[in-house]
């Protein structure tokens, strides 16, 4: 119980109390307090347990750099946020916060026993354990580690909040509203351009909030900015990343600072800001020092103690020792002493102290120990004392204290500068990297530019100590529990680059991205390697600057707005008739139409029976469609597709096969020539946009001399497939102006006329093997025409069928689905479609590749049919195929099952497969090893039904 509320001072409102709970216990603070300041004022020093060793931990910093005091805030079901930093959580009435990673309670953590066995988690622990036997990892180590190590729990219920998102444009964006940022904003605003000033804290002011001498200026500047129409000031807004061309993404927290009952509207708002100029005024973060016991609760940054005292009116101890290697520690000590925070001693590794500081400390009756270092801290749950020694190795001397402040120098906050690929230069006097060059219109001002007077100091990282490094328990990365000796071990095991040392030790890889640990880790690696810091390098900072909710990143793009859902004009009818849907390339398609208690198998069996015995109706509107028009249309298609097109008569259709230049099938579809200069192309449902893009590419960049126009008409036409022996009888009463007789309208022909009084392009085509028509009508008439066809169909017992039945029927005929029976490595010949390749054509896209050595080599995987020896075994699509089931594991896999169904028509299962040398294996038995059994199957041609095609004519 060492922290306490000072009698006066701070920016808190002492007339307004706030009540909240921490770990279930009622607590209070003032309006303006952070969770950290309110609890420190109550004497709470213990805030959490560490990641791996469950060591007791207190507050280190007063801002977002805080690595230890991570809390979970519970705002009701689905509103539980873990890993919030206590210094950045404003208190409000009803705030419910709990500490993390402790069991059963903060003070008596049973797992902290683990601390004794800390050798269990040396550097590279994860890498090394991954080398252990897999069974041991899965059954023993991983469960143990999961229980021992970790941060807060992830929420398990749906986030009920919504999140706003917006774009903004401005001439100048300033990130960070401390004195330097505010000055930059005033300067830019005077020019009249649009200015954004954003800051992550509850109020703007940055470092000035902890300096009462600047408060009058701050109030004046804040009022001035607020009065300017061209200035937008956003507090509680974190710039999480800088992206190309001054595109800054920032998250504004709108309601988390309010009591739950007062929080209305979106929880956060994501700003995407494009700025002419970006000014980074992000300040600097003080570095801890690395010494034995530097993680005992009560050991914190000197600048944090200053902020707690001067901004929040809280003293962090009653007998405080400062461990400094930098003038700023002396300045903070003096400011604290003046504010009534009792500083008893300043220990500084430097022998020569600025006389002005030394004199001021003596005048303030602070004991000074120049040339000394702290060698250990006593206390477990709180600081009880510190031992110091001359140069860290002399005779130990005990100092009575309840808090230790560390002043290890300053690290400019260059995160966003690095996001922007700005280069950094090492600055010896700062002992840190400073911004150097950038290609963006971006500059740094104030402390993050190295333009701030914190005084001077050493950059040492590890303090000299009597113990050898490998026995040291001095921590570098508090959040990931990385010790100085872990870095020593990594170097000893051969790691040289900081990128490797970082990953091996996990230094700087926690949620704080090493804000307080990176440079100390680097310095220690440099010392151990006896190489300059600049040769070891700095790890790369990446967005987000601080952890960011997924909700804000998602914004409105969830549920129905996650991605577009495309529906055909007939979709409503399907819904009304009980369709079960599947999504295909953003389209919602009816998969099957169950009747009564039918499951999918029963429904599909019935739908298949009806198509084969009478007639079925299918919504094929999602097929991609492209209108190809112009004098060179036939020439163009001739170059794009493998098939010959110039010879196709108007009124006829052709199955088109499209390859990439690599020679592999990428799309297919039946297309019709309506006139010498006009084609109606169809593509696969998923391939429509891709095919149009590819055709545009050739037309615009390779064959710009061709006079051809391409228009996507996918959504302009509704397509109703009527398939089955009764198909002609169903449409005949509805069609006008088209002679439907087989002689006048043969298979693979197209006719224009009307149906139900609506213009139609009527195709006589079949993807089922039955007599079939595809009725194209303008999309807005689709539902009406569908209903008319359905009414006629019902007279013949028609079934509406979905994509599942379509798949079964086409598989019975061995028709491929591009993307299911092909995978981007299948040539026309592999797929048994060599007949579709125009042998006499001099060229088409992909033709040259069909003569490449690998493409003509024997043994390629070829599409074959498979019939399982047990007719009721339905193979699993994707299952691997072997020739010899008795070979040892790993077996030689010679192919895989691409399509597999139960065929009601045939009363047995059927499958298609890609098998190496497949067409030379006709009649062979192959094997499909599955869990528990091996299925045998015979190879045959992929044609299971009506091989002679007699049914096409009804």
- Which residues are at the interface with another protein (CB under 8 A)? 243-245, 247, 272, 274, 421, 439, 661-662, 693, 696-697, 700-702, 704, 842-843, 847-849, 852-853
CB nearer to another protein: pick between 363 and 696? 696
For 430, half-sphere exposure in the C-beta direction (CA atoms, 13 angstrom radius) is 23
CB nearer to another protein: pick between 702 and 759? 702
Q: How far apart are CA 488 and CA 465, in angstroms?
A: 15
Give the bridge partners for 723, in sequence order: 616, 772
Q: How far apart are CA 631 and CA 678, in angstroms?
A: 8
State the burial class of residue 382 (Cβ atoms within 10 Å of its Cβ: 0-12, 13-18, 19+): buried
CB nearer to another protein: pick between 439 and 558? 439
CB of 849 to another protein, least distance (A): 7
Q: How far apart are CA 220 and CA 648, in angstroms?
A: 82
CB nearer to another protein: pick between 530 and 700? 700
CB nearer to another protein: pick between 661 and 736? 661
CB of 152 to another protein, least distance (A): 32
CB of 697 to another protein, least distance (A): 6
CB of 567 to another protein, least distance (A): 22
Cα-only R_g, the chain: 37
Query: Could you give the 3-state DSSP secondary structure of residue 291?
Result: coil
Taking the C-alpha atoms of 482, 483, 488 and 489 in order, what is their torsion angle to the nearest 10 degrees? -60
CB nearer to another protein: pick between 397 and 438? 438
For residue 61, the 8-state DSSP code is -
CB nearer to another protein: pick between 387 and 849? 849
| Residue reference for tokens 């490449």 | 852
CB of 661 to another protein, least distance (A): 6
CB of 435 to another protein, least distance (A): 16
Q: How far apart are CA 588 and CA 568, in angstroms?
A: 8
Taking the C-alpha atoms of 662, 668, 674 and 679 in order, what is their torsion angle to the nearest 10 degrees? -40
CB nearer to another protein: pick between 134 and 244? 244
Contact 836, 657 (CB under 8 A): yes
CB nearer to another protein: pick between 318 and 847? 847
What CA–CA distances, in Å, run from 953 to 252, 443, 614, 705, 737?
A: 67, 76, 13, 42, 21
CB nearer to another protein: pick between 380 and 849? 849
CB of 854 to another protein, least distance (A): 10
CB of 233 to another protein, least distance (A): 24
Query: Could you give the 3-state DSSP secondary structure of residue 938?
Result: strand
User: What stretch of H or E contains 656?
Assistant: strand 653-659
CB of 165 to another protein, least distance (A): 14
CB of 445 to another protein, least distance (A): 23
CB nearer to another protein: pick between 384 and 847? 847
CB of 440 to another protein, least distance (A): 9
CB of 436 to another protein, least distance (A): 14
CB of 709 to another protein, least distance (A): 12
Contact 920, 859 (CB under 8 A): no
CB nearer to another protein: pick between 172 and 776? 172
Query: Could you give the 3-state DSSP secondary structure of residue 652?
Result: strand
Estimate the share of the chain in helix, then strand, then coil, as percent rounded to the nearest 5. 25, 30, 45
Q: How far apart are CA 372 and CA 376, in angstroms?
A: 12
CB nearer to another protein: pick between 783 and 847? 847
CB nearer to another protein: pick between 843 and 948? 843
User: What stretch of H or E contains 637?
Assistant: helix 633-640
Residue 356 neighbours by CB distance under 10 Å:
10
CB nearer to another protein: pick between 577 and 848? 848
Contact 863, 898 (CB under 8 A): yes
Q: How far apart are CA 463 and CA 407, in angstroms?
A: 12
CB of 848 to another protein, least distance (A): 4
Q: Which of 836, 863, 848 lies closest to 660 in space, CA to CA?
A: 848
Task: For the chain, report the end-to-end CA distance as a whole number of angstroms.
Answer: 93
CB nearer to another protein: pick between 162 and 272? 272
CB nearer to another protein: pick between 705 and 948? 705
φ/ψ (deg, to 5) at 223: -65, -40
Q: How far apart are CA 732 and CA 630, in angstroms?
A: 33
CB of 628 to another protein, least distance (A): 16
What CA–CA distances, in Å, run from 169 to 166, 247, 248?
A: 10, 9, 10
CB of 421 to another protein, least distance (A): 6
Can you point out the beta strands (E) in 802-944? 861-868, 880-882, 893-903, 908-916, 925-930, 933-940
Contact 69, 36 (CB under 8 A): yes
Q: How far apart are CA 824 and CA 830, in angstroms?
A: 11
Q: How far apart are CA 62 and CA 283, in angstroms?
A: 14
CB nearer to another protein: pick between 274 and 384? 274
What CA–CA distances, in Å, run from 338 to 9, 360, 371, 454?
A: 11, 11, 25, 18
CB of 316 to another protein, least distance (A): 44
CB of 683 to another protein, least distance (A): 17
Rama region for 872: left / alpha / beta (φ>0; ψ in -120 to 50; rest) = alpha
């Amino acid at each position: 119980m060492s922290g306490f509320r000072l009698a006066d001072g701070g920016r808190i409102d002492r007339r307004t109390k706030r009540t909240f709970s921490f770990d279930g216990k009622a607590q209070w603070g003032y309006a303006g307090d952070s969770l950290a300041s309110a609890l420190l004022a109550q004497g709470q020093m213990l805030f959490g347990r560490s990641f791996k060793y469950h060591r007791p931990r207190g507050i280190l910093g007063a801002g977002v750099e805080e690595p230890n005091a991570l809390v979970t805030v519970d705002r009701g079901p689905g509103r539980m946020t873990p890993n919030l930093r206590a210094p950045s959580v404003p208190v409000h009435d009803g705030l419910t916060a709990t500490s993390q990673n402790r069991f059963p309670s903060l003070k008596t953590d049973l797992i902290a026993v683990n601390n004794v066995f800390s050798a269990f988690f040396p550097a590279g622990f994860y890498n090394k354990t991954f080398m252990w036997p897999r069974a041991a990892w899965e059954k023993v180590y991983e469960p143990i580690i999961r229980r021992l190590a970790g941060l807060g729990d992830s929420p398990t219920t749906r986030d009920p909040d919504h999140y706003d998102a917006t774009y903004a444009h401005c001439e100048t964006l300033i990130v960070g509203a401390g004195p330097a940022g505010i000055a930059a904003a005033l300067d830019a605003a005077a020019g009249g351009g649009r200015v954004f000033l954003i800051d992550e804290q509850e109020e703007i002011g940055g470092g000035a909030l902890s300096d009462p001498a600047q408060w009058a200026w701050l109030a004046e500047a804040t009022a001035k900015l607020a009065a300017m129409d061209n200035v937008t000031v956003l507090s509680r807004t974190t710039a999480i990343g800088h992206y190309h061309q001054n595109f800054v993404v920032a998250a504004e927290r709108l309601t988390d600072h309010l009591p739950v009952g007062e929080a209305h509207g979106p929880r956060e708002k994501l700003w995407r800001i494009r700025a002419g100029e970006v000014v980074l005024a992000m300040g600097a973060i003080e570095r801890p020092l690395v010494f034995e016991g530097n993680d005992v609760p009560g050991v914190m940054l000197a600048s944090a103690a200053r902020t707690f005292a001067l901004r929040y009116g809280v003293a962090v101890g009653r007998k405080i020792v400062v461990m400094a290697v930098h003038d700023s520690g002396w300045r903070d000590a003096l400011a604290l002493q003046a504010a009534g925070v009792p500083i008893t001693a300043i220990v500084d590794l430097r022998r020569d102290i600025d006389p002005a500081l030394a004199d001021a400390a003596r005048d303030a009756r602070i004991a000074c120990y120049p040339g000394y270092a702290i060698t250990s801290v006593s206390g477990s749950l709180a600081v009880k004392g510190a031992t110091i020694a001359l140069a860290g190795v002399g005779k130990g001397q005990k100092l009575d204290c309840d808090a230790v402040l560390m002043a290890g120098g300053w690290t400019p906050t260059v995160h966003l500068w690095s996001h922007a690929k700005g280069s950094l230069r090492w600055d010896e006097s700062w002992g840190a990297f400073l911004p150097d060059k950038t290609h963006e219109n971006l500059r740094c001002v104030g402390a993050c530019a190295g333009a701030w007077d914190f005084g001077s100091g050493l950059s040492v990282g590890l303090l000299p100590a009597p113990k050898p490094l490998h026995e040291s328990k001095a921590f570098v990365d508090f959040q990931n529990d990385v010790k100085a000796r872990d870095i020593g071990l990594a170097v000893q095991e051969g790691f040289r680059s900081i990128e490797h040392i970082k990953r091996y030790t996990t230094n700087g890889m926690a949620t704080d991205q090493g804000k307080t640990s990176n440079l100390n880790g680097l310095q220690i690696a440099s010392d151990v390697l006896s190489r300059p810091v600049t040769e070891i390098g700095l790890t790369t900072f990446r967005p987000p600057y601080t952890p960011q909710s997924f909700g804000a990143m998602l914004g409105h793009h969830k549920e129905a707005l996650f991605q577009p859902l495309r529906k055909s004009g007939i979709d409503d009818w399907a819904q009304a008739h009980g369709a079960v849907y599947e999504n295909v390339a953003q389209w919602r398609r009816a998969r099957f139409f169950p009747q009564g208690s039918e499951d999918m198998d029963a429904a599909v069996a019935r739908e298949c029976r009806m198509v084969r015995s009478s007639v079925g109706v299918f919504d094929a509107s999602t097929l991609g469609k492209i209108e190809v028009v112009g004098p060179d249309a036939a020439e163009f298609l001739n170059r794009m597709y493998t098939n010959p097109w110039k010879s196709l008569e108007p009124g006829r259709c052709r199955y088109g096969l499209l390859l990439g230049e690599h020679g592999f099938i990428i799309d297919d579809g039946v297309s019709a020539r309506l006139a010498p200069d006009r084609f109606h192309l169809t593509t696969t449902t998923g391939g429509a946009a891709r095919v149009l893009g590819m055709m545009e590419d050739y037309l615009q960049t390779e064959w710009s001399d061709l006079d051809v126009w391409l228009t996507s008409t996918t959504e302009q036409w509704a397509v109703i497939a009527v398939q089955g022996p009764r198909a002609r009888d169903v449409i005949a009463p509805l069609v006008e102006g088209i002679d439907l007789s087989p002689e006048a309208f043969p298979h693979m022909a197209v006719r224009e006329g009307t149906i139900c009084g609506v213009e139609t392009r009527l195709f006589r085509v079949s993807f089922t093997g039955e007599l079939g028509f595809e009725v194209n009508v303008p999309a807005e008439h689709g539902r009406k025409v569908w209903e008319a066809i359905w009414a006629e169909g019902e007279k013949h017992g028609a079934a509406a069928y979905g994509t599942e039945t379509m798949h079964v029927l086409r598989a019975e005929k061995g028709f491929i689905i591009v993307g299911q029976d092909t995978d981007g490595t299948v040539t026309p010949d592999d797929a048994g479609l060599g007949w579709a390749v125009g042998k006499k054509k001099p060229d088409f896209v992909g033709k040259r590749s069909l003569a490449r050595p690998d493409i003509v080599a024997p043994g390629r995987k070829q599409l074959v049919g498979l019939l399982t020896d047990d007719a009721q075994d339905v193979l699993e699509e994707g299952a691997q195929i072997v020739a010899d089931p008795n070979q040892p594991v790993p077996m030689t896999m010679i192919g895989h099952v691409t399509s597999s169904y139960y065929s009601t028509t045939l009363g047995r299962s059927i499958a298609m497969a890609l098998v190496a040398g497949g067409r030379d294996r006709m009649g062979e038995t192959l094997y499909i090893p599955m869990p528990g059994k091996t299925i045998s199957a015979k190879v045959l041609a992929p044609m299971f039904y009506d091989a002679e095609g007699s049914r096409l004519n009804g």
